[in-house]
Amino acid sequence: MEKKDKERQPHDKFFKQTFSRKEVILSFLKARLPKEIFNQIDQDNLLLTNREFVSATGKSISSDCIFKSRIKGTEHYIYLHVERQSEEDPLISVRFLEYNAQLIRQHVSEHGNTSLPAIVNICLYNGSKPYKGPTNFHDLFPSLNQAARYMFAGFHLVDLHTTTNEALLNWKQAAGAAMILKQGIYRDFCEWLPDYQNILLHLEKKGYIPYINNVL
């Protein structure tokens, strides 16, 4: 173990032992969270629920301190995720995002529905100099008005079920592939090919589906 790891270990242990106590975390949250967030926490049902996950790549993802409660007056949940950080980490927002995704999956699995919980991420920094790194995931993008906005504006749904064949013809080189995928309800191409023969021949004449013989 490196010297820095030895020095960090007592602080990690102390942090987890103290901030895992309900009275400590509540005092901390009351002092540091915006009032409108803190007042939503059902303090009577606040429970420590530290988790450790294994990502799809086999990487272990664990938290320092995480509490779970109801949003006051509702059946919905809120998680308070606190990480202690002694060094500035420009990608800590990515770490929070990774853990949040795993936490949401676990929550949905346990509660059997897709009503997602609120998650409040908190970094308790005790480094040797003021923290100047980004605190918002959006800040990591070079242009907030482009990549970040598009990424978090919701995904673009392309519903082949409701897209007409006439509309698909405008897709040109992608039209043939889309029409084939649209017939995904059939396990055998022979079940639908006769009905689409003229359309596929039209696309072939246009030069839009030179790849068709390689994939069928």
Quick: pLDDT tens for 161-195: 999 988 988 998 888 888 888 887 776 767 777 77
- How far is it, in rounded angstroms, from Cα 125 to Cα 11? 12
Encoded tokens for 101? 């995704």
| Token output for 5 | 């790891």
Q: 107: closest CA among 144, 59, 69, 58? A: 69
**9-18, 58-67, 82-91, 205-214: which has the minimum mean pLDDT?**
205-214
Residue 209: pLDDT over 70: yes
Nearest to 98 by CA among 83, 77, 84: 83
Average pLDDT, the chain: 83
DSSP string, 98-163: HHHHHHHHHHHHHHTS--PPEEEEEEEE--SS---S--SGGGGSS-IIIIIHHHHS------GGGS
Amino acid occupying residue 145: N
Pick the more confident residue, 37 or 50: 37
Burial class (CB within 10 angstroms; exposed 0-12, middle 13-18, buried 19+) of 153: exposed
- So what's the pLDDT on residue 201? 80
Structure tokens at 40: 């939503």
Give the model's confidence band at 7: pLDDT under 50 very low, under 70 low, under 90 confident, else very high.
very low
190: which DSSP letter?
A: G
pLDDT at 4 over 70: no
